[in-house]
A = this chain, B = another copy of it.
Amino acid sequence: MSEPRTHTPSDFVQAAFDIVDAQGLTSLTMRALGDRMGVDATAIYRHFPNKESLLDAMLDFILGEAANLEPTGATPRDRILSVAANVRAAMRRHPNLAGAFAQATGDFANGLTISRRMIAELRALGLTGEHLVRMYQSFEGYILGSSVFDTGGYPETFTIRQARYRYLNEPEFDEVARTAGDVERVTGEAYVLAISTLVDTCEELAKL
């Protein structure tokens, strides 16, 4: 018999995204995924040793969506901002999965690609030695951490943040909290501002 392989691991990953993006992470069960693929739940174990490795494949796919985009811009600063924007946009497309990055322990091939790209830009800015490693780590923490927090659970996240702004009883925050869209806009501006600030620091450290 030996049928030609009808399903690839990537088929399961795509179907899993369909479920998670539309119904949330808790709706992704092996049985639900099997149903969507027209296959028994236990058939998935031909392709992934367990559910965790399926999730890791999904997270690596998200990073791949960022890693496969060539960063745009004529200067290291612009290319760093471009990488940062691409990571954020990729997570933003899968808000129900972004939070899973914080739990993941696997190492991601596409994460390495992004890391190498960032390091190349930091070298282009003139950084070496411990300055290079330290600034790389600052960027990684900010880009990943902030993106996960800002994109996870979108759009509810911004409604929640809007409510929190109101509780603060600070006139400036009241103003921003008029719509969840305002909160999202200022959060996006804060992201770009902080990355740009970190690039400033790179330039100063390179002069030493």
Binding site for B on A (CB under 8 A): 98-103, 105, 107, 111-112, 115-116, 119, 128-130, 132-138, 141-142, 144-150, 152-153, 156-157, 160, 163-164, 167-168, 170, 172-173, 176, 186-187, 189-191, 193-194, 197-198, 200-201
Contact = CB atoms under 8 A, between A and B. Distances in A.
Contact of A115 (B105, B136, B164): B164
A13 to B, nearest CB: 21
A150 B138 CA distance: 11
Given A102-B149, A153-B105, A133 B168 contact: no
Contacts of A147: 145
A164 B198 CA distance: 23
B99 A141 contact: no
A92 to B, nearest CB: 14
B134 A189 contact: yes
B144 A112 contact: no
So how many copies of this chain end up in the complex?
2
Contacts of A163: 107
Given A102-B149, A111-B164, A130-B172, 4 more contacts: A102-B103, A103-B153, A135-B193, A138-B191
Contact of A119 (B141, B153, B170): B170
Contact of A145 (B132, B142, B172): B142
Contacts of A112: 164, 167-168
Contacts of A150: 141
A52 B112 CA distance: 34
List 10 tightest A-B contacts by C-beta distance, closest first. A145-B145, A102-B102, A137-B190, A141-B146, A99-B102, A138-B194, A99-B103, A138-B190, A197-B201, A145-B146
